């Protein structure tokens, strides 16, 4: 026995002898031998132990009497057979407190052998559970280099009902083979200082806490209680990948060596060491940790959010302003400045601008079937009417100027018929385009699951993209023609100088819509809708401000300039 076990043995015998309740009127004695793992010495020890006299002669009683109760030993070698053979003859119990790598079989060959250590099957099962839990992949098994190592598998009738207690105070019973049925205890023991380095011995392995494994030449199999704190022995060269990550294999390294990569947006992993990340359903997206999927947020340009509220207030204010300007021109319809600029076309243009501001409301809120059908087609037709009215006003300016020349054939074109025909024909083409659009591929409510991470964008699918850009292209064609005619007529006499303002208004109009196309294509979701609403409001405001603000200034603040004499004088000076 080791020295510290010898001291424990001394203490136990002393306590028993001092206690009147354990073995009353009986005093225990003991002999301690060391066989030095040698067969000859083992036989000599057994001869001396079984001989009662001075000489090692068994079966002969002479001299002092020694009542041998039992033999304590911790052998797990071939010497076990030698000891059991001797003790079995004299029916002396052989009690082993060593860890056996096997169960002596058959039992009738060793009827007086008692094993005080538990079966090895439960620890083996526990070791398997540890391997699975910590996912150890490098495993080494060590055993004795003998026949017992190849077959890994000192009760006496009066010990069969024997019961003892372990450190957890649970009862332990011995089965019919003299082996305790209880499992091992786990003791948490921490060293008091860094210098007191604990060791673990399992079989013939020694391991220092937080250190590398070393081989031991000792034949004993003793497990010392130890705690590694937060350090768990590992046979892997990398930490486990947490949920939300996936393994990335490293070329040229063992399978247990890998990197961990965070799952991409829209994918997730719930378990440790996931081989790959799984894709979230279309209506869900991965959370920040990428370890689960959560529902996407439904979004659209709402009246309640700041951007939508600002645009709606802006559209409402401009609609009120346009209605106010229209009221002024109706009230002062008999004044020279209103008559000089073709008041019927002016009314049509103001109504078209008022409706264009109001079309912004069709683009706001949750997309519905009706609003999706109406918003693009209504916007296209109304803007075509507005631009056609400007084109008609510009053409009428040119015709009126040419008609003043003597013998001009343009006099017959003067009148409402030319202006109305221009407006109807030019806007009628846009109406035809929109009808074809509605007939072959109308717009409908739709949702976009992929443009914005974590969002389901409710939007209107325009149906035919070709028809959408055809309508925009035709409107751009009308604006370009109107701009060119107004530019050529900008230097006509003062009575007809409205062409100057039309030129500038169309320059603003074209600039807004030229910048609209790339901006519209580069945005997604509700911001795409916001860009179109802003373009509608900005271009309509450009027409309203450039053409009608100067006239309102004269009508309201300078009525002295709103006379036929003043207009004729400006025309004369201009010519």
Q: Is 238 left (phi over 0), alpha (psi -120 to 50) or beta?
A: beta
In angstroms, what CA-CA distances link 364 with 372, 414, 440? 11, 43, 25
Pairing verdict, β 455-461 and 297-299: parallel
Q: What phi and psi values does residue 298 have, to the nearest 5 degrees?
A: -80, 130
The number of C-alpha atoms within 13 Å of 301 and in the hemisphere containing its C-beta is 25
Listed in sequence order, the residues at least 6 apart from 57 whose beta carbon sits closer than 8 Å to its beta carbon are 51
In terms of residues, how long is the chain? 575
pTM of this prediction?
A: 0.58
pLDDT mean for each 10 residues of the chain (575 residues): 76 88 85 80 80 68 68 70 78 77 57 73 66 66 55 47 54 63 53 41 36 33 36 63 90 80 92 90 90 91 90 94 93 83 86 94 91 91 92 81 64 71 92 93 88 85 90 91 84 64 85 87 86 93 89 86 67 42
In angstroms, what CA-CA distances link 69 with 9, 177, 327, 342, 364? 15, 20, 126, 134, 100
For position 175, what pLDDT does the model report? Answer: 65
For position 417, what pLDDT does the model report? Answer: 78
Tell me which H or E stretch contains 207.
Answer: strand 205-208
For position 293, what pLDDT does the model report? Answer: 93
> CB of 76 within 8 A of CB of 98?
yes
**Can you point out the beta strands (E) in 220-281?**
245-249, 258-262, 267-268, 278-279
In angstroms, how far is CA 122 from the centroid of its own chain? 41
Residue-wise burial string across 205-238, b where 16 or more C-beta atoms lie within 10 A, e elsewhere:
ebbebeeeeeeeeeeebeeeebeeeeeeeeebeb
Q: Which own/partner contact pairs does 34-38 have at CB distance under 8 Å and 24+ positions apart?
A: 35/79, 37/77, 37/79, 37/219
The closest alpha carbon to 66, from 89, 92, 41, 86, belongs to 92
């Amino acid at each position: 026995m080791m020295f510290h076990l010898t001291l424990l043995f001394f203490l136990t015998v002393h306590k028993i002898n001092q206690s009147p309740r354990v073995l009353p009127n009986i005093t225990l004695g003991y002999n301690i031998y060391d066989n030095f793992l040698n067969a000859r010495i083992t036989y000599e020890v057994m001869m001396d132990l079984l001989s009662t006299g001075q000489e090692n002669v068994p079966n002969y009683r002479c001299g002092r009497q020694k009542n041998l109760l039992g033999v304590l030993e911790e052998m797990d070698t071939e010497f076990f057979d030698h000891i059991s053979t001797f003790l079995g003859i004299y029916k002396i119990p052989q009690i082993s407190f060593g860890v056996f790598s096997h169960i002596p079989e058959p039992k009738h060959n060793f009827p007086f052998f008692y094993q005080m250590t538990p079966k090895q099957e439960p620890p083996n099962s526990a070791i398997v559970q540890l391997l699975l839990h910590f996912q150890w992949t490098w495993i080494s098994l060590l055993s004795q280099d003998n026949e017992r190592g190849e077959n890994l598998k000192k009760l006496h009738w009066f010990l069969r009902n024997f019961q003892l207690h372990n450190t957890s105070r649970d009862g332990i019973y011995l089965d019919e083979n003299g082996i305790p049925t209880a499992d091992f205890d786990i003791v948490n023991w921490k060293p008091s200082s860094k210098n007191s380095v604990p060791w673990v011995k399992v079989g013939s392995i020694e391991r220092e806490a937080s250190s590398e494994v070393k081989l031991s030449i000792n034949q004993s199999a003793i497990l010392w209680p130890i705690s590694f704190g937060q350090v768990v022995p590992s046979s892997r060269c990398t930490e486990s990948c947490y949920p939300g990550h996936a393994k990335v294999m490293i070329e040229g390294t063992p399978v247990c060596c890998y990197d961990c990569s965070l799952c991409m947006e829209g994918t997730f992993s719930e378990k440790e060491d996931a081989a790959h990340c799984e894709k979230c359903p279309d209506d869900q997206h991965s959370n920040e940790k990428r370890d689960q999927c959560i529902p996407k947020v439904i979004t659209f340009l709402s009246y309640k959010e700041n951007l939508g509220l600002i645009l709606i207030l802006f559209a409402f204010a401009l609609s009120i302003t346009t209605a106010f300007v229209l009221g002024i021109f109706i009230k002062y319809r008999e004044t020279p400045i209103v008559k000089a600029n073709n008041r019927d076309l002016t009314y049509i243009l103001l109504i078209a601008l008022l409706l264009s501001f109001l079309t912004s409301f069709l683009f706001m809120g949750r997309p519905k079937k009706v609003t999706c059908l109406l918003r693009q087609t209504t916007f296209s037709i109304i803007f075509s009417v507005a631009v056609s009215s400007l084109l008609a006003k510009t053409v009428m300016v040119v015709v009126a100027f040419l008609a003043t020349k003597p013998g001009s054939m343009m006099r017959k074109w003067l009148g409402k018929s030319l202006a109305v025909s221009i407006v109807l024909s030019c806007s009628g083409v846009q109406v035809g385009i929109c009808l074809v659009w509605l007939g072959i591929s109308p717009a409908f409510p739709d949702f976009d699951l992929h443009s914005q991470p974590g969002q389901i964008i409710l939007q209107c699918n325009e149906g035919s993209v070709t028809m959408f850009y055809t309508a925009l292209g035709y409107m751009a064609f009308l604006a370009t023609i109107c701009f060119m005619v107004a530019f050529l007529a900008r230097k006509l006499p003062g009575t007809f100088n409205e062409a100057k303002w039309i030129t500038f208004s169309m320059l603003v109009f074209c600039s807004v819509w030229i910048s609209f196309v790339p901006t519209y294509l580069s945005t997604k979701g509700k911001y795409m809708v916001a860009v179109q609403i802003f373009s509608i409001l900005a271009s309509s405001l450009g027409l309203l401000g450039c053409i009608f603000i100067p006239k309102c200034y004269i009508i309201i603040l300078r009525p002295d300039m709103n006379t036929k004499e003043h207009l004729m004088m400006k025309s004369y000076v201009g010519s």
